[in-house]
Structure 1
Amino acid sequence: MTASPRPIFAQDLPVQADYESLKVAAEWYAVLQDTEADSRQRAAWQHWLDARPEHRRAWAHVEAVSRRFTLLRNDGEREAAEKAVQVASRRVPSRRQAAGRILALGGVGIMGWLAWRHTPLPAVVTAWRSDYATGIGEQRDIVLADETRVWLNTRSAIDVHFSQDQRLLTLADGEILVETGKDARQRPFFVDTRYGRLQALGTRFTVRQSDDDVLLAVYDGQVRIQNLAGRVALVRAGEQTRYTADAISMANPADPARQAWSRGVILAENLPLVDLIAELGRYHAGYTGVDPRVADLRVVGRYPANDRDRTLAMLERDLPIRVQRTLPWWVTLEPR
């Protein structure tokens, strides 16, 4: 099958391609996957591809999503990558040992590992360097030496550094829920993020880190924020806020949905459909798109985070939408 001029990985893509171009690109991809596709169809596809820059961006996006799945079709690569992820998702005494075990896979194993770096399973380089990590759709509940409980959401990774003077978690990626333990030595408890440091003051709280900011929601006690610019704020139980390296937003009422994920649930309380699908997409590989005509439909309910098909069936039952499956890994929600 003819491809675009160069391989394009997910990180090369624009944040959002337009919906109609993505829809047509996926349809063309399905057509060209057919072994009976003829030269006229390929010529028509090329004409469409060259017509607008948006078409080429959409095609690159479809290719990138497809690549994540086609890499898994080779049994040798899949087995090697699975072993690598197993190494990544366990706590290991030495990161060099972890690297050595991955390198020891050898041959196809190395190719599988490198290939999976360009898939969403999980952010593997971050994962194998971290003390604890999860892949797509995986959630973990761990208990630390001081009886602190930490839940890791999908695609998350943390490092744990306990010393004589402090207890420190470093959130490398993703989202965590923390319920601090009562330390006999009364050491302060910190969470470092890319945009600043949090100090827990006898608390239960969630921290979600993205490229743009960090979202903190506090459910018990208080959490002190100090961002990289030195700005300080105290967030109390029942409040949430966002902060960046330079600024801390005013606190708002905490969203109960922010901790529902620890029970495997996406909680929607009058949530726009497009926002629910974006949250669902964090737990699943592939693409799930929403037609702009139904994007703002309001959704209320509890949905299983790790069962996309069941969630989509529930939405199709309750809303005036239909689920369109153009490819096994490409799904869109459209008006019924």
Structure 2
Amino acid sequence: MTDVEKMQDQAAVSKQHLKEAAEWYAALADETLAADIKQQWQRWISASSAHGEAWARIESVAKRFDQLRDDGTGTRAPASETLHSLQERRVTRRRTLKTMLVLAGIGSATWLSLSESPYLQMADYVSAKGEIKELALSDGSKAWLNTSSHMDVHYTTEQRLIHLLSGDIFIHTAADSNRPLIVETSHGRLRALGTRFSVAEEGDHTVLAVFEGRVEVDIGQGLNRIIDTGEQISFSKETWGVLRGADPARQAWVNHVLLANDIPLVDLLSQLERYRFGYIYVEPEVAQMRVMGSFPLDEPDVALEMLAASLDISIDKPIPWWVHIRSKNK
């Protein structure tokens, strides 16, 4: 098992425990709660070694926040006060969360982008978490990198080759009859035929959505097909997914908009989570609520507030990087 796989496995079994530990941390910092809260917390810690491990991670994150505040005398306030003072001093949320997570070194799949392999970081073009980067390529084509994406570009006299290493790209190709524009992913090769299209690496498959022109897709072994304007398809190295209409959301992110067209809340939050540091936990009883609307990708916390205003949900933040979404009636 690779280091990344170990981290992903660790994250899968500890998210619930981390959620509980974060809530305990918030409870212990609240002086208005019952006096026996510390005894209840100690019983929770003693109940499982996994609880102790989760608490150690949360405590580590909080302690490292102490390093972000110094009053000039060499002393630092408790972590809970530090979190509050950071907000008062208007340190940006993105910068605060990034510093917190880098210092903590938490091994969660949600935050793997903080420890990306050197190979990815050496890509020709890289976008940070939460960043949407617009690029002007040397042939006149335009490309947009979605959040946490990586691509290489290799132009020769015979072809224009773009290698998508991870994440999503949107491309508006420039005409060049002598050099076809090829996009490679780990699942196949796409040949642009005068187009605007998006390509996304999504785990064990790639998703192509064509918004203008056509794209020829070759997954090897003589398996190739042409995808026309308004069509979308997923594919792996061996199989094709179902051909469907192009999802407008796969183009909307270029304009920094998260578009929801009657999708489950949990799916929208999964997308929104890609643009902010931290973890969003949604309770099962509200996970399948249907959502419609447009939400700002540049301000994911504003998007969360918009959701709270339009749906029967409550959004709690026990600590800044942990968001807990539940029913208002619970």
- Scaled by the length of structure 2, the TM-score of the pair is 0.75
Q: Which amino acid aligns with 1:177?
A: F
Deviation at 1:250, TM superposition (A): 2.6
* Distance change in 2, residues 1:125/1:73 (3 Å): farther
Q: Conserved in 2, the CA contact under 8 Å of 1:122 and 1:136? A: no
**In the alignment, which of 120, 123, 129 is matched to residue 122 of structure 2?**
129
Q: Conserved in 2, the CA contact under 8 Å of 1:139 and 1:154? A: yes
* Distance change in 2, residues 1:69/1:250 (3 Å): farther
- Written as runs of structure 1 = structure 2, the 5 A alignment for 1:30-45 is 30-31=26-27, 40=39, 43-45=42-44
Question: What secondary structure, in the 3-state scheme, does the structure 1 residue paired with 2:308 have?
Answer: helix
Tell me the distance in 2 between the aligned counterparts of 1:13 and 1:291. 21
Report the count of equivalent residues.
Answer: 285
**Is 1:311 equivalent to 2:303 in the alignment?**
yes
- Written as runs of structure 1 = structure 2, the 5 A alignment for 1:216-235 is 216-235=208-227
Question: What secondary structure, in the 3-state scheme, does the structure 2 residue paired with 1:204 have?
Answer: strand
**Is 1:179 equivalent to 2:137 in the alignment?**
no
Deviation at 1:221, TM superposition (A): 0.9
**Is 1:288 equivalent to 2:280 in the alignment?**
yes
Tell me the distance in 1 between the aligned counterparts of 2:104 and 2:52. 26
- Deviation readout 1:123-159 (Å, 9 max, x if unpaired): 3624431001011101111111110100000000100
After the TM superposition, which of the residue ranges 281-290 and 22-31 deviates more from structure 2? 22-31
Deviation at 1:325, TM superposition (A): 1.1
Question: What secondary structure, in the 3-state scheme, does the structure 1 residue paired with 2:158 have?
Answer: coil
Query: Residue 49 of structure 1 aligns with which residue?
Result: 48
Query: Residue 330 of structure 1 aligns with which residue?
Result: 322
* Distance change in 2, residues 1:322/1:114 (3 Å): closer
Q: Which amino acid aligns with 1:11?
A: Q
**Is 1:215 equivalent to 2:207 in the alignment?**
yes
Question: What secondary structure, in the 3-state scheme, does the structure 2 residue paired with 1:249 have?
Answer: coil
Q: Which amino acid aligns with 1:49?
A: S
Query: Residue 141 of structure 1 aligns with which residue?
Result: 134
Deviation at 1:269, TM superposition (A): 0.7
Structure 1 residues not aligned, in runs of 5+: 1-7, 76-111
Tell me the distance in 2 between the aligned counterparts of 1:229 and 1:71. 52
Structure 2 residues not aligned, in runs of 5+: 69-101
* Distance change in 2, residues 1:302/1:68 (3 Å): farther
Tell me the distance in 1 between the aligned counterparts of 2:223 and 2:245. 21
- Written as runs of structure 1 = structure 2, the 5 A alignment for 1:106-125 is 119=111, 120-121=113-114, 123=116, 125=118
* Distance change in 2, residues 1:9/1:205 (3 Å): same
- Scaled by the length of structure 1, the TM-score of the pair is 0.74
Deviation at 1:39, TM superposition (A): 7.6
Q: Which amino acid aligns with 1:165?
A: E
- What root-mean-square deviation, in Å, do the aligned CA atoms of Structure 1 and Structure 2 show? 3.4
- Written as runs of structure 1 = structure 2, the 5 A alignment for 1:1-336 is 10-15=7-12, 21=17, 23-31=19-27, 40=39, 43-50=42-49, 59=54, 63=57, 119=111, 120-121=113-114, 123=116, 125-183=118-176, 186-336=178-328
Q: Which amino acid aligns with 1:45?
A: W
